[in-house]
């Protein structure tokens, strides 16, 4: 069981997102099927394509904006011309932290490279954490794209799948099973 769970764990979030998207977009799919003369596969393909475009457009805009901002920042940030003003003497009077802050700021105002060299080992864990966050965001985005495609394949068999879930819910909770399924569907759509 452990190895089976380990194998399917990366796909669980894709399956959940696919189900959520299918339930949420099913009324739109059903409307499209009626407008297209009952062509279920064409409606599913068109809705999947529209969904991908809706997600890919803003995601592309965000990534391009981020790349442009990083390029602008790196072009303007030249450490050879960057000069920090000397620290005010009042900082020395701060309790506990005043003297170390004053010493570091004074070093940075006279020799920025040396100050950065002292801080660099402390910034590596922060950089590593930021890289993990970016990797997680990229992986999550790719999983969401895959979930949209899988949802496209779930539109056609959705009535049969809903009937199976209703049947299972009746066995699980005979008197209120279908009500729970309807409530879950309404919650997802809202």
Tens of pLDDT, residue by residue over 65-124, are 888 888 887 777 766 666 788 888 888 888 888 888 898 888 888 887 788 888 888 888
C-alpha 44/C-alpha 47 separation (Å) is 5
C-alpha 140/C-alpha 159 separation (Å) is 28
Residue 160 Cα to chain centre, angstroms? 31
Q: Which residue, 181, 190, 179, 141, is CA-closest to 158?
A: 181
Q: What is the structure's pLDDT at 188?
A: 82
Average pLDDT of every residue of the chain: 86
Contact 45, 152 (CB under 8 A): yes
CA angle in degrees (0–180, nearest 5) for 181-182-187 = 100
Q: What is the mean pLDDT of residues 120-138?
A: 86
């Amino acid at each position: 069981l452990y190895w089976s769970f380990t194998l399917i764990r990366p796909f669980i979030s894709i399956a959940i997102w696919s189900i959520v998207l299918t339930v949420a977009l099913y009324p739109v799919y059903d409307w499209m099927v009626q407008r297209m003369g009952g062509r279920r596969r064409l409606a599913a393909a068109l809705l999947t394509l529209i969904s991908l475009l809706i997600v890919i457009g803003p995601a592309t805009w965000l990534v391009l904006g981020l790349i442009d901002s990083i390029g602008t920042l790196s072009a303007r940030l030249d450490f050879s011309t960057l000069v920090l003003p000397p620290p005010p003497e009042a900082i020395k009077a701060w309790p506990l932290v005043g003297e170390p802050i004053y010493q570091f700021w004074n070093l940075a105002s006279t020799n920025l490279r040396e100050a950065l060299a002292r801080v660099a080992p402390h910034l590596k864990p922060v950089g590593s954490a930021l890289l993990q966050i970016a990797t997680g965001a990229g992986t999550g985005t790719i999983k969401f794209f895959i979930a949209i495609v899988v949802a496209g394949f779930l539109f056609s068999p959705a009535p049969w799948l809903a009937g199976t879930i209703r049947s299972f819910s009746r066995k699980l909770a005979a008197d209120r099973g279908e009500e729970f399924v309807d409530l879950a569907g309404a919650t997802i759509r809202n």
